Amino acid sequence: MSTEIIPPSELSKFLSFYDSHKQETWDEETSFLQLLAWIEDRQTTQKMQERICQPGEIILREDEPGDVFYVIRSGNAVIIKGDIQTATVLGFRGMGDALGEMALLENLPRSATVIALNLVSLWSLSRAMFYQFLGENHPSFSLDLMNMLSSRIRKSDEERRRGYTREKEQVVALETLSRQATHDPLTGLFNRRYLDQILYGEIAHARQNGSLVGILMADVDHFKKINDTYGHKAGDLMLQAVGDLMKSCVRSADIVCRYGGEEFVIVMPGASAPTVSKCAEEIRSKFQSLHVKFEDQEIYATISLGGAIYPLHGSNVDEVFVHADRAMYQAKQNGRNRVVIFPIESASKNIE
């Protein structure tokens, strides 16, 4: 049998887990201790096979076949699920505990990986030898031992379920952290950090394929007045309404971001100037008709939007973004509640 030892750093990690959980032991251990004592008493005549495992040695590996049943003579072991580096710890075993009983009784592959935490001595029993012991021993002991094995299987199933639950919780936590890093918590839209991450990639992709990218910038008109008049809670409701409205007006490929405050940016891959203009006008028109309910009042506002198209209005991200911002500013200067697409001739002059 080839010996496989895990890296010292991984062993140290499992030992740390063990130190904080070693108080957790099986409540029902009498039968296995009796079996251990029986083996110790008969090992000279029965020619029992002892296995010595070094610290960090893999005793059993998940999914491997096997009909060997181990009883721990001394030492401690950890039971894990999954890869060594990202494993979920299911539990620990010590003197008198059994290893491999599920594979023995159910004739299934190993359900988990078992690793020696320190120097571990094991008695090894084959399937045939195990049932021989049951036949030679008193029936009441055999019944107790089989009941104990069944109980261990149920508890192992519970350990696996707890392990899977912990894994799911970890996945949810990571997904939550990932979402917090890329989404605005108030509106649920992508945030400025995400916009900075994807915008250069969208422009590079368009440059490579000879396609267009539309950029829309939007700003809620007189938003400060809403906050001053009705309070920030009302302002938050208004921003949420803007976000929901924008998502309902854009295409599935478009990316809606809250840029900051009452400003929003929409990235529209493959969109021509007429497509960008049509989308902006739909948002403007619908938002003008939208009334947000707050307490016993209805609040309404308007929105100004400016658009620019790569490469018509700039040869790189910064130029197109600046021109979209200037177009939005022009919409404000022209009286607000309107859409302005940056003119191609102005872009040409700026490039020259």
Catalytic residues: 262
Rounded CA separation 337/7 (Å): 65
* Residue 4: closest CA among 44, 50, 43, 60: 60
Residue 119 phi/psi, 5° resolution? -70, 120
Place of tokens 């079996």: 35
* 8 Å CB contact between 316 and 350: no
Rounded CA separation 324/301 (Å): 22
Q: How many CB atoms lie within 10 A of CB 295?
A: 10
Q: DSSP per residue over 68-87, as a string?
A: EEEEEEES-EEEEES-STTP
Quote the crossing angle between the two packed helices 139-182 and 30-46, to the nearest 10°. Answer: 120
* Residue 58: closest CA among 134, 133, 123, 7: 7
Supply angle C-alpha 284, 285, 289, rounded to 5: 115
Tokens of 160: 């696996």
57-74 residues labelled b (16+ CB within 10 A) or e (exposed): bbbbebeeeeebbbbbbe
Q: DSSP per residue over 83-130, as a string?
A: -STTPEEEEEE-TT-EESHHHHHH----SSEEEESS-EEEEEEEHHHH
